[in-house]
Each structure stands twice: as C-alpha cells, then as structure tokens.
Amino acid sequence: MSTPIPKSHKRVVAIAKRAPLELHTVPTKAPEANEVLVRVSYAASSPLNLHVADGNLLGGLPNVGWNGAFAGSVAALGPETQTGLKIGDPVFGFTWRDNKEKSGQEYLTAPETMMGRIPDGADERAYATVPDSFVTAWHTLRTELGMKLPWPKPDGWKPRNVDTPVLVWGASSSVGWFALPLLKWAGYTNVVATAGMKHHERLKQLGATKAFDYRDGDVVEKLRDAAGPPGFRYFVDCIGSLEGSVRPIAQIAGPGSTIAIMLPVIVRTATETVEPIYSMDVKDPEIHVDWKDGSNPVGVRTHFYTKDEFAANNLQPVVMPALLQSGDIEPASYRIMEGKDMLERAEKALSLFRSGAVSGERLIWSTS
Ligand SMILES: NC(=O)c1ccc[n+]([C@@H]2O[C@H](COP(=O)([O-])OP(=O)(O)OC[C@H]3O[C@@H](n4cnc5c(N)ncnc54)[C@H](OP(=O)(O)O)[C@@H]3O)[C@@H](O)[C@H]2O)c1
C-alpha cells in the first residue's frame, strides 16, 4: 500500500564556494511517468561534491541536494513503470540531473532506469557505495576505452586480446574497486594496478595480476617493465591528479594506447586553507602534459553514460544488481558519517576529502 507523499522534505544545499552547507525545506515531487519516489536512507559523498563545493566545478553552484549514489526504499510509483519495482522495495542508484533526483535529501524522484533493487536483507549502506562508481567503471571501460563488456555475456566468452596489458592507476579508489573486477569478469588477464601498499593483497583478489605503490620513486620504470615490450594498451586513471597520476602515465603511454582519465584533472588539491584548481581538458595547453605522439588521452564524464541507449536502460536496473548477485562485483568498504543532522554529516564528508584522509572506502551518511 502506498504511503502518502509528503508535502515537503529537507535537502542539503551548497550555496557558494567554500561556504557552509545549508539545509533547505523543499516541496516533494510526486513521480511522473516511469518515475519512482524514493525515501532515501543513505547518501554517498564523493570527491565530486568537494569539486563543486570548493571549486564550483562546471558552474555547479548553487548545488541543490548533492548528487551521487543513494540507498533507500520505494515510497511511490508513477504511471507506466515497467521494471517491476513495488512500494517498499529497497533500491539503490546514481542520480544527478535535476534537483528532484539528487541524493542528498530525504526524498528523491527519479526514473526507474536509474536505480536497481537491493536484495531483501542486504546491507543498504553497502549498496549505497556501488552505483556511481560502478557506472563510472563500466562507462570508462566500454565507452571511453572501447573494451568488450558483452551483456549478457555468453558462457565461455573471452575478449580477442585477453592478455593485452591494462593499467589501472589508483585502483584503491572507488572507481578502481569496480574497474578491476569488471576487467576480470570480462576475461582480461594482464591487469596491473597502482595503489598504496596496504591495499595490494585485496586488489589482487579483485583481479589485479600485479600491484605497485604509486608513491615509489621508481614506479614509472617498474610499470614499463611490468607491461613488457608491447606496453600498456589501455589505461584507467582513476585519480586525475596532474602530478600524482596524469604526468606519470604520460611518461608510460606509448603510441596506440588510450588513456581514460577521470575528470576533472586536479591541478591543485583543495585543502582547508587552499582553493582547488581544476581543468576539464586532458590536453589543456595550460597544464602542459607531454603526451607522446599516437597516444590518445580522453577525459571521462560518467554523466554521459546515458547517451548509450543500452546502458541508459539496463546498467543500473539490470546489470549492476545481477553482477552483485553473482558475486562478480561486491560493494566497497564504507565509513558512516555521524552528526546531529544531514548537514553535519555532509560537512564531515567534505572535510575528510579536503584532508586527504579517504583511503579505500566510501563515505556514507544517513538522511534521517
Ligand atoms: N569524471 C567522472 O565521471 C568521474 C567519475 C568518478 C570519479 N571521478 C573523479 O575521480 C577522482 C577519484 O574519485 P574516487 O571517488 O574514486 O576517489 P576516492 O576513492 O575518494 O580516492 C581515494 C583513493 O585515491 C587514492 N589516491 C590518491 N592519490 C593517488 C595517486 N596519486 N595515485 C594513485 N592513487 C591515489 C588513494 O589511494 P591509497 O589510499 O591507496 O593511497 C585512495 O584510496 C575524483 O577526482 C573524482 O571526482 C570522476
């Protein structure tokens, strides 16, 4: 039975650059055709929230309601929904396009194709770690790098170039956590990772064949040796730090390689006292990256994943729950942000990102 749709609810709002967040009361939007009203339980903060709050990335301020991943339950269904969701079903998803869709609020209203069902009894907080990062990893591999990720995958299917060398730089990041097992699921067998040492064993379980510490002064030489004469064909830069990942990768990436870089390129990292500087162009002459002739750097914008009709209709409602169910991917580790209200919890997450204290985990907070 449907619960009455509330007249209004609270959401987190970033008003101006590096200004304190605010909590606004806004009208709750009833779901229209193919839409679902979700009572959000948990929202996941991501570095994108920091890029917008501190750097006004892409003119994203004021940012009403945050954007990113959520877990919650179906409060109401609009007409003509087709995915089989029912009132009360637990759901998780990644939404961002409109204020009513965003996850940092008590209720969100979004298309049913932008969420999947959580199995009964599963930890919804763990499921909130998945959607934005999983969608990014899939979109990066399949669309930006043009790798084969068939769905459904026929039994025994393997890519033609199974042992082509792939480098996942920053594999302990949220995106790396899903890129590695997706590559393993797709059959790629020569996947090298960089991450802090403490994550290496875990990353090998997830699918890395070798792991190197990105802080090691010899990391570029070690990675060249690990790739051998063909060199890496595919690169996933999960970090996009100008000095910390982009420049070292440019030294390794040879002709014929494609390098997918998570945007923005971080020219200067935000801290409590310093404003960030970003670039949205991986070939920006102002940042002077010395890409070798014949290498192909591309900037990743996950928000474009819906341009692929298959992904738009199936990635979140079908593929993501199925890969979790089969155990081919698993939720990331998470840390719960405590605080008296959403505002305090969302601020805590921003502060942890500013202090660089997030390692191999998602920051999750309750919207109650
Ligand atoms: N454009 C897009 O569509 C898109 C989508 C998703 C993410 N992104 C961007 O990608 C970046 C990462 O996001 P995220 O959510 O994955 O972040 P995250 O999980 O919070 O990143 C933290 C991890 O980054 C690792 N790290 C930090 N500096 C590194 C470096 N120089 N080399 C290798 N690893 C490094 C740390 O590794 P250790 O703890 O092992 O040291 C830590 O585990 C953000 O800027 C985000 O906005 C962009």
pLDDT of amino acid 40: 98
Residue nearest atom 12 in ligand 1 by C-alpha distance: 239
Side-chain-side CA neighbours of residue 246 (13 Å): 29
Within this chain, do residues 146 and 28 fall inside the same structural domain, yes or no? Answer: no
Within this chain, do residues 62 and 153 fall inside the same structural domain, yes or no? Answer: no
* Residue 272 near residue 354, CB atoms below 8 Å: yes
CATH number at residue 15: 3.90.180.10
Nearest atom in ligand 1 to 263's CA: 1
Structural domain includes residue 228: yes
Nearest atom in ligand 1 to 46's CA: 15
Cα dihedral sign for 243, 245, 251, 253?
A: negative
Number of folded domains in the chain?
2
In the reported structure, the alpha carbon of residue 316 is separated from the centroid of ligand 1 by a whole-number distance in angstroms of 22
Residue nearest atom 19 in ligand 1 by C-alpha distance: 173
Angle between helices 174-186 and 131-139 (to 10 degrees): 50
- Structural domain for 93, as ranges: 8-130+331-366
Within this chain, do residues 152 and 20 fall inside the same structural domain, yes or no? Answer: no
Structural domain includes residue 93: yes
The pair of three-digit structure tokens given for residue 162, joined into one six-digit string: 């199974």
Decide: 263 in ligand 1 pocket, CB within 6 A: yes
Nearest to 260 by CA among 197, 175, 151: 175
Structural domain includes residue 200: yes
Round to whole Å and give the CA distance between 328 and 336: 25
Within this chain, do residues 252 and 346 fall inside the same structural domain, yes or no? Answer: no
Decide: 67 in ligand 1 pocket, CB within 6 A: no
Structural domain includes residue 57: yes
Round to whole Å and give the CA distance between 83 and 80: 10
Digitized pLDDT (tens) for each residue of the chain, 368 residues in all: 556 899 999 999 999 999 999 999 999 999 999 999 999 999 999 999 999 999 999 888 988 777 799 999 999 999 999 999 999 999 999 999 999 999 999 999 999 999 999 999 999 999 999 999 999 999 999 999 999 999 999 999 999 999 999 999 999 999 999 999 999 999 999 999 999 999 999 999 999 999 999 999 999 999 999 999 989 999 999 999 999 999 999 999 999 999 999 999 999 999 999 999 999 999 999 999 999 999 999 999 999 999 999 999 999 999 999 999 999 999 999 999 999 999 999 999 999 999 999 999 999 999 99
In the reported structure, the alpha carbon of residue 238 is separated from the centroid of ligand 1 by a whole-number distance in angstroms of 6
Decide: 239 in ligand 1 pocket, CB within 6 A: yes
Other residues' Cβ atoms within 10 Å of the Cβ of residue 330: 14
In the reported structure, the alpha carbon of residue 228 is separated from the centroid of ligand 1 by a whole-number distance in angstroms of 26
* Residue 124 near residue 118, CB atoms below 8 Å: yes
Within this chain, do residues 31 and 91 fall inside the same structural domain, yes or no? Answer: yes
Within this chain, do residues 37 and 144 fall inside the same structural domain, yes or no? Answer: no
Decide: 83 in ligand 1 pocket, CB within 6 A: no
Within this chain, do residues 115 and 145 fall inside the same structural domain, yes or no? Answer: no
